[in-house]
Amino acid sequence: MLALTEFVAVLATTFFAGAAIYVNLVEHPARMGCGTEIAATVWAPSYKRATVMQASLAVVGFLGGVAAWLHGASSMWLVGAVFIFAVVPVTLIVIFPTNKRLLAPSRDLGSAETRELLVKWGELHAIRSALSFVASVIYAWQLVGT
């Protein structure tokens, strides 16, 4: 059972990290290169689709890490679980206000303010990328180091 919980934690967390890092390094810069109105237009459906996937992966990665720790793995599994779980409050408390402003029906998608919000969103999203990367490194280190 321990091997299964470790596998689930690593898989979900590294998938999350890979997707988050891809967004920061590839997807968001590409859409920002298309002009503000197009970037804002494609950001909304991308955000909505990614929300379900990434929330699920974060929760599964967290639960897998906690389960591994409860099944006798080192406390570093719990540390990794805390890092991947941290993306949830960061999203809800730090990033969500920007998301809400970007999704406002009255938003002028071509405005300078929209561009500033999209730039800010990319910077805030990098926090999620960093947290999930750290969690992935901790989990992978535990697999390789044991």
Q: For the purposes of burial, counting CB atoms within 10 Å of the CB of 45, is it exposed (0-12), middle (13-18) or buried (19 or more)?
A: exposed
Q: Report the alpha-carbon distance of residue 139 to residue 6 in Å, rounded.
A: 8
pLDDT-derived band at 145, boundaries 50, 70, 90: confident
| % of residues, the chain, pLDDT over 70 | 99
Give me the pLDDT at residue 49, please: 93
pLDDT (tens digit per residue) in 66-87: 999 999 999 999 999 999 999 9
- Domain span including residue 17: 2-145
Total domain count, the chain: 1
The mean pLDDT value of the chain amounts to 96
How many CB atoms within 10 Å of residue 59? 16
Entry pTM: 0.94
Angle between helices 2-22 and 112-145 (to 10 degrees): 150
